[in-house]
């Protein structure tokens, strides 16, 4: 029971982190119809900028400034890159963001080197918040949960309750009408892109100390973020939330409980073959859940795409 | 913001997601019905003669690598260029074909009565088999959804390759020995040159087959579905099935390239399946140009050369390749092939000579300026990451101290002057371009 609670918290942290990325990605997608392949790269940039700033000015200034810089960089990418490529169609846009992801990874290696950088959580948060049956929960995790929830609530408030949010929502569905009403729709697009990437930047800043900051970090998280928004349904904010939490919990639970395939197969009445090391299915028999934890999201995605192609919360697209 | 209308129009995600990356005039069409034999004869001749010109082993290795990439890029372009499907996990089909070939190689009894040149065909069959399964659900839609599924499936197979040791060999991959095969007319494929001719033969066969495929009704329908799936449906074709056929055929040829990889390197690892390889083939194909059949061939040749030459010269070659790629997407979505074919009207008008001088005036300074920029990048890299005390660096055959001001000034000046001149002469080039593409004389 206690272990379940600890895993719930761990999964929540992972899930909310994923959500901060997938929220921006899904917003950008529903607005521009383009999947930003470089989204996780902005997350990485956030971590690296925060690291550099924290060396000089400390963690908190980094938390404040790094997302801003990332957001501005994102807006510039939209203004001078994506908008130009947009005229060629959607596939080149995808290819462009893909190339950008490659380029940012190389750029990060160029500036900060190929190794991990020692980016650490602030000392003020380095204590145990509370313990559940001997499993201590670090304060930093609680801090991460609060930041992500705060951002989600703020985003929801801005999108649904403020005038800016109304215009954004209107521009999502009827860009031409909104433009006819005198709003600068390209500017709104740029702004949303900037905010989306800034969100990814925040995720990078707070995840950097926990998941370690290295040039491959975008590549590790990036595909999972796509999986999250595909499972949730492309363009759905709530779908992104549910899918992110789902992925967070599934991977955490799979890692902490050692469920063996052999036990499952025996359980449903298939006996273990006698000479296991000779059998062509030996790998299937020796599978354990921590081993496949990292590929479970992909399995989930393929299943969703086969049985419910629009995703959990997505509208059916013909 | 000049194209606001188009911008806003494209904003709806469900509105025409499949679009070829270039204006309609440049899209890859099926072309005329006449099949010209000349390029194929020339290509055959070149491939026969090349090893006589470049005889050393490293050149042969590069050429083998090139041939494998050509097949893979052409197969990839069946999806991207002809079918409008962007795949982020196509390495999987080549990889699985390769792994299957490796297992055939290791089945020694069977392999001993098996002529090696047939092996890639089996790789193709396995690639096709996988494509049959995956394609059955991934080709339901094109565009973004297809791209996502391909990414997910690619990641899934690449990461399970470490777990399924029996087939993928885990971390260290699996290796075999091609020379155990039944001798093929006395050839045992001990030497690199023999493997070269095997690979070259397969390149010609598969390129010809893929070309013929693009001329079949299915190949032409793939173009139609890429440009306007709705209209193709109205004509009575199922867009989904047309995509499925292209996908399966592409999987087959990717598998062939995987089989050739297995024969050539005799080892396959997780690297043959992962997203890096998939991304690389996208890069190669797009750089070459997706709009023309010969684009990917060009891309494979140029990229392999750039990769081998640059990676010997600098650690930063991936950075340059990435920059080149992004620049291509932004400014020349037609790729190298598109750039070349742009000049066809001028040549047809007989006015291409008008372009030579302006080109020299603009491109030469631009190239020098870009080299200056590269020098700055290299110096920054050396300054930041060089070992302490190691201030000497060699660049463009000159050795200097990267911690002094002078080299920086020189490189900066070269970059600024080169690009400055190029900017100055660019309007002249534009005028010359317009002039060369206008029929009749101006005066």
Which segment of A159-163, B215-219, B432-436 scores lowest on mean pLDDT? B432-436
CA-based nearest residue to B340, from B282, B281, B293 = B293
CATH code of domain B26-341: 1.10.3470
C-beta atoms of B3 and A111 within 8 A: no
Instruction: Look at residue B40 in the predicted model and tell me its pLDDT.
Output: 85
Q: Is the pLDDT of residue B30 over 70?
A: no
Instruction: Determine how β-strand A128-132 pairs with β-strand A135-138.
Output: antiparallel
Say which CATH class A2-257 falls into.
mainly alpha
- Name every chain B residue with its beta carbon within 8 A of the beta carbon of A35: 144, 147-148
What pLDDT does residue B324 have?
Answer: 86
Chain B residues whose CB is inside 8 A of the A113 CB are: 384-385
**Could you tell me if residue A311 is left (phi over 0), alpha (psi between -120 and 50 degrees) or otherwise beta?**
left
Q: CA nearest B144: which of B82, B233, B91, B84?
A: B84
Length of chain B: 443
Q: What is the pLDDT of residues A126-151, one digit of tens each?
A: 777 677 767 777 888 888 888 889 98
Structure confidence at residue B300 as a pLDDT band (50, 70, 90): very high
> Phi and psi dihedrals of A215, rounded to 5?
-60, -20
Go through A65-102 and write b for each residue having 16 or more CB atoms within 10 A of its CB, e for each that does not: bbbebbbebbbebbbebbbebbebbbbbbbbbbbbbbb
Domain borders along chain B are: 26-341, 347-436
Residue A26: helix, strand or coil by DSSP? Answer: helix
- Quote the CA–CA distance of A69 and A45 in Å, as a whole number: 9
Identify which has the larger pLDDT, A176 or A129.
A176
Q: Shortest CB distance from B319 goes to which of A110, A282, A287? A: A110
Note whether B333 contacts A86, CB cutoff 8 Å.
Answer: no
Question: Rounded to whole angstroms, how far apart are CA atoms A135 and B40?
Answer: 70
Average pLDDT, chain B: 80
Are the C-beta atoms of B330 and A84 separated by less than 8 Å?
yes
3-class DSSP state of A134: coil
Over residues A169-185, the mean pLDDT reads 85
Q: Where are the domains of chain A?
A: 2-257
Q: What is the predicted pLDDT for the residue at B9? A: 38
Q: With a threshold of 0.85, tell me whether the complex ipTM lies above it.
A: no
CA distance B324 to chain A (A): 9
- As a whole number of angstroms, the distance between CA A222 and CA B344 comes to 42
pLDDT digits (tens, 9 = 90+) for A242-291: 999 999 999 888 888 777 777 777 777 776 666 666 666 666 777 777 77
Q: What is the mean pLDDT of residues A188-215?
A: 88
Residues of A in contact with B14 (CB under 8 A): 317-318
Cα separation, B116 vs B264, in Å, equals 11
Of A154-163, A222-231, A263-272, B81-90, minimum mean pLDDT range: A263-272
What does the pLDDT average to over B403-430? 80
pLDDT of residue B248: 94
A182-188 long-range contacts (CB < 8 A, ≥24 apart) are A185/B4, A185/B7, A185/B8, A186/A83, A186/B1, A186/B4, A186/B7
B325 contacts in chain A (CB < 8 Å): 99, 102-103
The predicted pLDDT at position B2 comes to 37
Q: How far is A128 from chain B (nearest CA, A)?
A: 35
Instruction: Give the per-residue pLDDT at B415.
Output: 82
| Mean pLDDT (whole number) for B167-181 | 80
Asked if B6 has any chain A CB less than 8 Å from its own CB, the reply is yes
Contact B63, B51 (CB under 8 A): yes
Per CB-CB distance under 8 Å, the chain B contacts of A83 are 1, 7
Q: What proportion of chain B, given as a percentage, has pLDDT over 70? A: 88
Q: Which of residues 387-406 of B touch A (CB under 8 A)?
A: none
Q: In the predicted model, what is the mean pLDDT of residues B394-421? A: 77
Mean pLDDT in residue range B427-436: 78
Q: What is the pLDDT of residue B97?
A: 92
Q: Mean pLDDT throughout A19-25? A: 88
So what's the pLDDT on residue A44? 92
CB B330 within 8 A of CB A96: yes
Contact A295 B159 (CB under 8 A): yes
Inter-chain residue contact A283 with B164, CB threshold 8 Å: yes
- The DSSP code for A273 is P
Q: Which among B303, B285, B284, B304 has a CA at the least distance from the CA of B293?
A: B285
CA distance B235 to B258: 37
Sorting pLDDT into bands at 50, 70 and 90, what band is B118?
A: confident
The per-residue pLDDT for B6 is 39
Whether A113 contacts chain B with CB within 8 A: yes
Closest residue in chain A to residue B80, using alpha carbons only? A91
Percent of chain A with pLDDT over 90: 12
Query: What is the C-alpha to C-alpha distance for residues B345 and B352, in angstroms, rounded to an integer?
Result: 9
């Amino acid at each position: 029971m206690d272990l379940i609670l600890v895993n719930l918290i761990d999964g929540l942290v992972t899930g909310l982190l994923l959500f901060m990325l997938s929220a921006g990605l899904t917003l950008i997608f529903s607005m521009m119809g383009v999947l930003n392949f470089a989204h996780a790269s902005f997350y990485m940039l956030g971590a690296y900028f925060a690291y550099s700033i924290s060396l000089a000015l400390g963690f908190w200034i980094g938390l404040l400034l790094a997302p801003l810089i990332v957001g501005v960089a994102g807006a510039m990418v939209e203004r001078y890159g994506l908008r130009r490529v947009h005229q060629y169609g959607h596939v080149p846009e995808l290819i462009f963001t893909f190339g950008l992801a490659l380029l940012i990874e190389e750029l990060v290696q160029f500036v900060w080197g190929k190794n991990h950088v020692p980016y650490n959580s602030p000392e003020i948060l380095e204590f145990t918040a509370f313990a559940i049956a001997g499993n201590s929960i670090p304060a930093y995790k609680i801090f991460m949960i609060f930041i992500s929830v705060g951002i989600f609530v703020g985003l929801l408030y801005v999108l649904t309750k403020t005038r800016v949010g109304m215009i954004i929502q209107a521009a999502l569905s009827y860009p031409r009408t909104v433009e006819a009403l005198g709003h600068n729709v390209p500017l709104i697009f740029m702004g949303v892109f900037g905010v989306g990437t800034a969100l990814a930047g925040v995720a990078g800043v707070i995840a950097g100390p926990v998941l370690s900051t290295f040039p491959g970090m975008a590549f590790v998280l990036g595909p999972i973020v796509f999986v999250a928004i595909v499972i949730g349904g492309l363009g759905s904010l709530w779908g992104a939330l549910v899918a992110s939490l789902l992925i967070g919990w599934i991977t955490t639970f799979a890692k902490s409980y050692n469920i063996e395939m052999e036990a499952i197969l025996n359980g449903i009445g298939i006996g273990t073959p006698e000479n296991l090391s000779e059998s062509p299915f030996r790998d299937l028999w020796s599978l354990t859940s921590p081993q496949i934890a990292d590929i479970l999201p992909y399995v989930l995605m393929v299943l969703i795409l086969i049985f419910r192609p629009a995703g959990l919360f997505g509208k059916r697209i013909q | 913001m000049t194209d606001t209308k188009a911008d806003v129009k494209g904003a709806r995600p469900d509105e025409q997601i499949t679009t070829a990356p270039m204006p309609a005039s440049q899209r890859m069409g099926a072309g005329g019905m006449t099949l010209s034999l000349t390029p194929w004869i020339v290509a055959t001749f070149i491939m026969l003669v090349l090893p006589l010109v470049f005889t050393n082993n490293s050149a042969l290795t590069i050429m083998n690598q090139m041939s494998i990439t050509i097949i893979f890029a052409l197969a990839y372009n069946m999806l991207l260029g002809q079918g409008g499907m962007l795949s982020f996990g196509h390495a999987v089909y080549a990889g699985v074909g390769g792994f299957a070939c490796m297992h055939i190689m290791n089945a020694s009894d069977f392999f001993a009565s098996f002529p090696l040149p047939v092996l890639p065909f089996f790789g193709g069959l396995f690639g096709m088999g996988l494509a049959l399964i995956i394609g059955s659900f991934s080709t339901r839609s094109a565009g973004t959804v297809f791209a996502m599924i391909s990414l997910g499936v690619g990641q899934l197979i690449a990461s399970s390759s470490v777990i399924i040791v029996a087939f993928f060999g885990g971390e260290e991959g699996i290796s075999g020995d091609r020379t155990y095969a039944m001798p093929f007319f006395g050839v045992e494929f001990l030497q690199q040159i023999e493997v070269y001719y095997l690979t070259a033969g397969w390149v010609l066969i598969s390129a010809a087959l893929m070309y013929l495929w693009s001329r079949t009704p299915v190949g032409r329908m793939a173009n139609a579905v890429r440009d306007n799936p709705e209209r193709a449906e109205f004509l009575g074709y199922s867009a989904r099935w047309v995509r499925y056929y292209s996908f399966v055929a592409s999987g087959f040829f990717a598998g062939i390239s995987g089989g050739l990889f297995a024969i050539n390197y005799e080892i396959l690892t997780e690297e043959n399946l992962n997203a890096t390889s998939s991304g690389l083939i996208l890069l190669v194909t797009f750089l070459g140009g997706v709009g023309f059949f010969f684009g990917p061939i060009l891309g494979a040749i140029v990229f392999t050369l750039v990769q081998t030459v640059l990676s010997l010269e600098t650690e930063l070659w991936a950075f340059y390749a990435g920059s080149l790629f992004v620049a291509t997407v932004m400014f020349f979505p037609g790729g190298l092939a598109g750039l070349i074919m742009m000049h066809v009207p001028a040549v047809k008008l007989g006015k291409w000579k008008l372009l030579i001088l302006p080109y020299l005036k603009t491109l030469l300074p631009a190239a020098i300026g870009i080299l200056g920029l590269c020098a700055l990048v290299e110096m920054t890299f050396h300054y930041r990451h060089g070992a302490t005390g190691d201030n000497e660096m060699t660049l463009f055959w000159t050795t200097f101290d990267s911690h002094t001001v002078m080299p920086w000034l020189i490189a900066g000046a070269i970059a600024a002057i080169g690009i400055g001149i190029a900017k100055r002469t660019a309007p002249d080039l534009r005028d010359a371009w317009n002039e060369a593409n206008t029929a009749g004389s101006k005066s």
